[in-house]
Structure 1
Amino acid sequence: MPIIKHNPAALFPQYRCYSHATEIRGDSRLLIISGLNGYMADGVTMPESFEEQAEIIWGHIRTLLHSAGMDMSHLVSLRTYLADPKYDEANVRMRIKHLGAYEPSSTVVCCQLLDPKWKLEVEAMAAM
C-alpha cells in the first residue's frame, strides 16, 4: 500500500517534521488512536514536565501501533493539543526525536485541556 506525501510547491513551505497531506492508496487497514495523555500505566501518576509527559505519550503510541502490527512508519496523521504555545519548540523536538525524518500529516492546536496537569494530548492515525 503506497503512502504518498503531498507537499506541492504552490502551498507554503512545509513545517519541520510535517507533510501537508498524506494519501493512502489501495486496500488498507486504518488505526485511529484516541487522544492520549501522559498518564503512566497505573492511570493515576503523571509527571510534571512537558518532556516527561510527551515521552510517555510517544511510548503509548508505539504500544498501540505494535498491538496492531504496525510501527511509526505507518503513522499518516497526528493531531497534538498543547496546553500552552510555549511548548511548541519542545513538541517539535519530541516529534523529531520519535519520528526522525518521517513526516506524517500533522496539526497542532493550542487550547485548554481537560485537566490542568496535562501539558499535551496527542491523537494519531496509522494505516497499512
Structure 2
Amino acid sequence: MPTISHNPEGLFPPYRSYSHATEIRGDARLLVISGLNGYLADGRTMPEPFEEQGEIIWQHIGTILRSADMDYRHLVSLRTYLADPSYDEANVRLRVKYLGDHRPSSTVVCCQLLDPAWKLEVEAMAAA
C-alpha cells in the first residue's frame, strides 16, 4: 500500500519531519491513535520535563504501532498539542529522532491542555 507525500511547488517549503499532505492508495488498514500524554504504565506517574514526557509519548506510539504490526514509518498523520510555544524546538527534535527522514502530514497546536502537568499530547494515524 503506497503512501505518497505531496509537497507541490507553489507552497512554502515543508518543515523538518513534515509533509503538506499524505495520500494513501489502495486497500489499507488505518490505525487511529488517540491523544497520548506522558504517563508511565501506572497511569499516575508523569515526569515534569517536556523532553521526558515526549520520550514516553513517542515510546507509547511505538508500542501501539507494534501491536498493529506497524512501525513509525507507517505514520501518515500527526497532531501535536503543545502547552507552550517555547516547547516547539524540543518537539521537533523528538520528531526527528523517532521519524528520521519519514515525513507524515502534521499539525502543531499550542493550547491549554486538560491537565496543567501535561506539556504535550500527541495523536496519530498510521496505515498499512
Query: 1:34 — aligned with what?
Result: 34
What is the deviation of 1:105?
0.3
Secondary structure in 2 matching 1:96 = helix
Count of aligned pairs between the two proteins: 128
What aligned pairs does 1:66-85 form with structure 2 within 5 A after superposition?
A: 66-85=66-85
Find the aligned partners of 2:59 and 2:17 in 1 and give their Cα distance: 18
What is the CA–CA distance in structure 2 between the aligned matches of 1:59 and 1:12, rounded to whole Å?
31
Map Cα deviations across residues 11-55 of structure 1 (whole Å, 9 max, x no partner): 111111100000000000000000000000000000000000000
- Deviation of 1:10 (Å): 1.2
Task: Letter of the 2:6 partner, please give it.
Answer: H
- List 4+ stretches of structure 1 deviating above 6 A: none
Residue 94 (structure 1) aligns with = 94
Q: Which amino acid aligns with 1:119?
A: K
Q: In the alignment, which residue of structure 2 is the partner of 1:17? A: 17
SS for the counterpart of 1:80 is strand
1:59-79 C-alpha deviation (Å, 9 max, x unpaired): 000000000010011000000
Question: Could you say what secondary structure the match of 2:46 adopts?
Answer: coil
Q: CA RMSD, aligned part only?
A: 0.4
Q: Distance in 2 between matches of 1:24 and 1:10?
A: 22
Give the aligned partner of residue 126 of structure 2: 126
Counterpart amino acid of 2:2? Answer: P
Give distance in 2, aligned partners of 1:13 and 1:99.
18
Letter of the 2:40 partner, please give it: M
| Residue of structure 2 in register with 1:49 after alignment | 49
Question: Which whole-Å deviations, capped at 9, do the CAs of 1:63-109 have from their partners, x for residues lacking one?
Answer: 00000010011000000000000000000000001111110000000
**Alpha-carbon separation, structure 2, partners of 1:73 and 1:85:** 26
The 1-side partners of 2:12 and 2:100 are apart by 22
- Given the two structures, how large is their TM-score scaled by the length of structure 2? 0.99
**CA–CA distance in 2 between the matches of 1:113 and 1:45?**
17
User: Unaligned stretches of 5+ in structure 2?
Assistant: none
Q: Distance in 1 between matches of 2:71 and 2:101?
A: 15
Counterpart of 1:108 in structure 2: which amino acid? Answer: V
In structure 1, give the amino acid aligned to 2:70.
M
